[in-house]
A and B are shown apart, each in its own frame.
Chain A
Protein backbone atom coordinates (compact mmCIF):
# COMPACT_ATOMS: atom_id res chain seq x y z
CA UNK A 1 0.00 0.00 0.00
CA UNK A 2 1.24 3.45 -0.88
CA UNK A 3 2.24 5.18 2.32
CA UNK A 4 2.89 8.61 0.85
CA UNK A 5 0.80 10.19 -1.87
CA UNK A 6 1.77 13.28 -3.79
CA UNK A 7 -1.21 13.85 -6.03
CA UNK A 8 0.38 16.62 -8.09
CA UNK A 9 2.72 15.27 -10.73
CA UNK A 10 3.79 18.60 -12.18
CA UNK A 11 3.31 22.26 -11.28
CA UNK A 12 4.38 25.15 -13.46
CA UNK A 13 4.43 28.72 -12.16
CA UNK A 14 5.82 32.06 -13.12
CA UNK A 15 8.57 33.51 -10.98
CA UNK A 16 7.35 35.22 -7.79
CA UNK A 17 4.17 33.16 -7.62
CA UNK A 18 3.55 31.01 -4.56
CA UNK A 19 3.35 27.25 -5.00
CA UNK A 20 1.96 24.67 -2.60
CA UNK A 21 2.86 20.99 -2.79
CA UNK A 22 0.48 18.49 -1.25
CA UNK A 23 1.51 15.39 0.66
CA UNK A 24 -0.83 12.86 2.27
CA UNK A 25 0.55 9.96 4.29
CA UNK A 26 -0.74 6.75 5.80
CA UNK A 27 0.62 4.98 8.87
CA UNK A 28 -0.56 3.03 11.89
CA UNK A 29 2.41 4.06 14.00
CA UNK A 30 1.92 6.74 16.61
CA UNK A 31 5.55 7.79 16.33
CA UNK A 32 6.71 8.67 12.87
CA UNK A 33 8.70 11.27 10.99
CA UNK A 34 7.88 13.26 7.89
CA UNK A 35 10.39 14.75 5.50
CA UNK A 36 10.67 16.88 2.42
CA UNK A 37 13.60 16.48 0.03
CA UNK A 38 14.48 18.47 -3.08
CA UNK A 39 16.02 16.80 -6.13
CA UNK A 40 17.44 19.32 -8.60
CA UNK A 41 18.45 18.25 -12.13
CA UNK A 42 21.87 17.19 -10.81
CA UNK A 43 20.10 14.29 -9.10
CA UNK A 44 21.22 14.60 -5.49
CA UNK A 45 18.46 14.52 -2.88
CA UNK A 46 18.74 17.57 -0.65
CA UNK A 47 17.16 17.45 2.80
CA UNK A 48 14.76 20.31 3.54
CA UNK A 49 12.84 19.51 6.70
CA UNK A 50 12.00 16.80 9.24
CA UNK A 51 8.99 16.80 11.56
CA UNK A 52 8.04 14.23 14.17
CA UNK A 53 4.48 13.10 14.76
CA UNK A 54 4.22 14.85 18.11
CA UNK A 55 5.11 18.28 16.81
CA UNK A 56 2.33 19.82 14.77
CA UNK A 57 3.74 23.31 14.82
CA UNK A 58 3.98 24.82 11.40
CA UNK A 59 7.44 25.91 10.37
CA UNK A 60 8.82 28.68 8.23
CA UNK A 61 12.35 28.84 6.87
CA UNK A 62 12.95 31.77 4.58
CA UNK A 63 10.65 31.37 1.59
CA UNK A 64 9.72 27.81 2.62
CA UNK A 65 6.90 26.90 4.98
CA UNK A 66 5.32 23.64 6.04
CA UNK A 67 1.81 22.86 7.30
CA UNK A 68 1.50 19.61 9.26
CA UNK A 69 -2.04 18.45 10.08
CA UNK A 70 -2.43 15.08 11.78
CA UNK A 71 -6.23 15.26 11.49
CA UNK A 72 -5.99 15.03 7.72
CA UNK A 73 -2.65 13.13 7.58
CA UNK A 74 -1.16 15.88 5.49
CA UNK A 75 2.20 17.61 5.43
CA UNK A 76 2.06 20.32 2.79
CA UNK A 77 4.92 22.50 1.60
CA UNK A 78 4.68 26.05 0.29
CA UNK A 79 7.31 28.01 -1.57
CA UNK A 80 6.60 31.73 -1.37
CA UNK A 81 7.73 34.08 -4.14
CA UNK A 82 9.17 31.25 -6.19
CA UNK A 83 12.45 31.62 -8.05
CA UNK A 84 13.89 29.83 -11.06
CA UNK A 85 16.36 28.05 -8.74
CA UNK A 86 13.39 26.39 -7.04
CA UNK A 87 12.81 24.30 -10.16
CA UNK A 88 13.28 20.69 -9.07
CA UNK A 89 11.44 17.53 -8.11
CA UNK A 90 10.21 17.62 -4.52
CA UNK A 91 9.64 14.45 -2.54
CA UNK A 92 7.68 13.91 0.63
CA UNK A 93 8.76 10.92 2.72
CA UNK A 94 7.72 9.03 5.84
CA UNK A 95 9.67 6.91 8.29
CA UNK A 96 8.02 4.88 11.02
CA UNK A 97 9.46 4.21 14.45
CA UNK A 98 7.69 0.87 14.87
CA UNK A 99 9.90 -1.00 12.44
CA UNK A 100 13.14 0.31 14.00
CA UNK A 101 14.75 0.55 10.59
CA UNK A 102 13.51 4.12 9.94
CA UNK A 103 13.68 3.48 6.23
CA UNK A 104 12.08 6.19 4.12
CA UNK A 105 8.93 5.64 2.11
CA UNK A 106 8.78 8.26 -0.61
CA UNK A 107 5.95 9.69 -2.63
CA UNK A 108 6.24 9.79 -6.40
CA UNK A 109 7.40 13.39 -6.33
CA UNK A 110 6.11 16.67 -7.71
CA UNK A 111 8.05 18.39 -10.49
CA UNK A 112 8.07 22.15 -10.01
CA UNK A 113 9.00 24.35 -12.93
CA UNK A 114 9.45 28.05 -12.26
CA UNK A 115 9.50 30.16 -15.42
CA UNK A 116 11.25 33.51 -15.55
Chain B
Protein backbone atom coordinates (compact mmCIF):
# COMPACT_ATOMS: atom_id res chain seq x y z
CA UNK B 1 0.00 0.00 0.00
CA UNK B 2 1.88 3.07 -1.23
CA UNK B 3 1.39 6.44 0.35
CA UNK B 4 1.06 9.85 -1.23
CA UNK B 5 3.95 10.73 -3.52
CA UNK B 6 5.04 14.12 -4.81
CA UNK B 7 7.48 15.13 -7.51
CA UNK B 8 9.84 16.80 -7.66
CA UNK B 9 10.99 16.91 -4.03
CA UNK B 10 12.94 20.10 -4.61
CA UNK B 11 12.68 22.77 -7.26
CA UNK B 12 14.88 25.81 -7.68
CA UNK B 13 13.76 28.31 -10.28
CA UNK B 14 14.36 31.87 -11.30
CA UNK B 15 11.80 34.56 -10.76
CA UNK B 16 9.37 34.75 -13.66
CA UNK B 17 9.64 31.09 -14.65
CA UNK B 18 6.74 28.65 -14.58
CA UNK B 19 6.85 25.53 -12.42
CA UNK B 20 4.63 22.46 -12.17
CA UNK B 21 4.37 19.99 -9.31
CA UNK B 22 2.75 16.58 -9.34
CA UNK B 23 0.93 14.68 -6.61
CA UNK B 24 -0.08 11.02 -6.73
CA UNK B 25 -2.62 10.24 -3.99
CA UNK B 26 -3.36 6.97 -2.27
CA UNK B 27 -5.18 5.02 -4.95
CA UNK B 28 -8.63 4.64 -3.40
CA UNK B 29 -8.78 8.22 -2.06
CA UNK B 30 -11.15 10.46 -3.99
CA UNK B 31 -10.26 13.68 -2.16
CA UNK B 32 -7.02 15.47 -2.84
CA UNK B 33 -5.83 18.64 -1.06
CA UNK B 34 -3.02 21.10 -1.69
CA UNK B 35 -1.45 23.11 1.12
CA UNK B 36 1.42 25.59 1.30
CA UNK B 37 3.79 25.84 4.23
CA UNK B 38 6.21 28.71 4.76
CA UNK B 39 9.11 28.62 7.20
CA UNK B 40 8.03 28.49 10.82
CA UNK B 41 4.32 28.25 10.02
CA UNK B 42 1.72 25.54 9.81
CA UNK B 43 0.43 24.45 6.41
CA UNK B 44 -2.28 26.61 4.84
CA UNK B 45 -5.04 25.28 2.65
CA UNK B 46 -4.87 26.15 -1.06
CA UNK B 47 -7.44 24.01 -2.86
CA UNK B 48 -9.09 20.61 -2.96
CA UNK B 49 -10.60 18.15 -5.40
CA UNK B 50 -13.24 15.51 -5.08
CA UNK B 51 -12.53 13.14 -7.92
CA UNK B 52 -11.78 15.44 -10.88
CA UNK B 53 -13.84 18.39 -9.63
CA UNK B 54 -12.03 21.31 -7.99
CA UNK B 55 -14.52 22.28 -5.29
CA UNK B 56 -12.82 25.07 -3.39
CA UNK B 57 -9.94 27.50 -3.79
CA UNK B 58 -8.41 29.61 -1.06
CA UNK B 59 -7.85 33.33 -1.45
CA UNK B 60 -4.18 32.42 -1.21
CA UNK B 61 -4.45 30.90 -4.67
CA UNK B 62 -3.78 33.88 -6.92
CA UNK B 63 -4.45 33.93 -10.65
CA UNK B 64 -0.92 32.68 -11.25
CA UNK B 65 -1.77 29.37 -9.60
CA UNK B 66 -3.74 26.63 -11.28
CA UNK B 67 -4.45 23.08 -10.21
CA UNK B 68 -5.89 20.17 -12.11
CA UNK B 69 -6.87 16.59 -11.48
CA UNK B 70 -7.87 15.49 -14.97
CA UNK B 71 -8.88 11.89 -14.38
CA UNK B 72 -9.53 11.99 -10.69
CA UNK B 73 -6.20 10.36 -9.96
CA UNK B 74 -2.98 12.43 -9.89
CA UNK B 75 -3.03 16.21 -9.60
CA UNK B 76 -0.77 18.98 -10.83
CA UNK B 77 -0.20 22.41 -9.35
CA UNK B 78 1.25 25.01 -11.69
CA UNK B 79 2.63 28.40 -10.72
CA UNK B 80 3.14 30.87 -13.54
CA UNK B 81 5.56 33.79 -13.42
CA UNK B 82 6.97 32.74 -10.08
CA UNK B 83 7.79 35.36 -7.47
CA UNK B 84 10.15 35.14 -4.51
CA UNK B 85 7.15 35.10 -2.22
CA UNK B 86 6.12 31.77 -3.73
CA UNK B 87 9.10 30.08 -2.07
CA UNK B 88 7.58 27.51 0.27
CA UNK B 89 6.90 23.82 0.80
CA UNK B 90 3.91 22.65 -1.23
CA UNK B 91 2.16 19.73 0.40
CA UNK B 92 -0.38 17.36 -1.05
CA UNK B 93 -2.74 15.20 0.99
CA UNK B 94 -5.39 12.67 0.10
CA UNK B 95 -8.32 11.15 1.92
CA UNK B 96 -11.66 9.46 1.70
CA UNK B 97 -14.58 11.79 2.47
CA UNK B 98 -14.82 12.74 6.15
CA UNK B 99 -11.63 10.89 6.88
CA UNK B 100 -8.02 11.50 7.85
CA UNK B 101 -5.80 13.29 5.36
CA UNK B 102 -2.47 11.61 4.65
CA UNK B 103 0.33 13.79 3.41
CA UNK B 104 3.06 13.35 0.85
CA UNK B 105 6.66 14.39 1.42
CA UNK B 106 6.14 17.80 -0.16
CA UNK B 107 7.86 19.81 -2.89
CA UNK B 108 10.18 22.51 -1.64
CA UNK B 109 10.20 25.46 -4.04
CA UNK B 110 12.94 28.07 -3.99
CA UNK B 111 12.52 31.09 -6.24
CA UNK B 112 15.73 33.03 -6.81
Q: Which A residues are closer than 8 A to B by beta carbons? A: 4, 35, 37, 42-47, 50, 91, 93, 97, 101-109
Main secondary structure, interface of B, reads strand
Report the tally of A-B residue pairs with Cβ distances under 8 A.
55
Interface residues of B toward A: which range?
20 to 34
**Contact A106 B103, beta carbon cutoff 8 Å:** no
**Contact A107 B42, beta carbon cutoff 8 Å:** yes
Q: Which B residues are closer than 8 A to A by beta carbons? A: 31, 33, 35, 40-45, 48, 55-56, 89, 91, 93, 95, 97-98, 100-106, 108
Q: Give CA–CA (A19, B89) in the complex, Å.
A: 28
Q: Give CA–CA (A43, B38) in the complex, Å.
A: 12
- Of A37, A91, A101, A105, the contact of B55 (CB 8 Å cutoff): A101
Q: How distant is B100 from chain A, measured CB to nearest CB, in Å?
A: 5
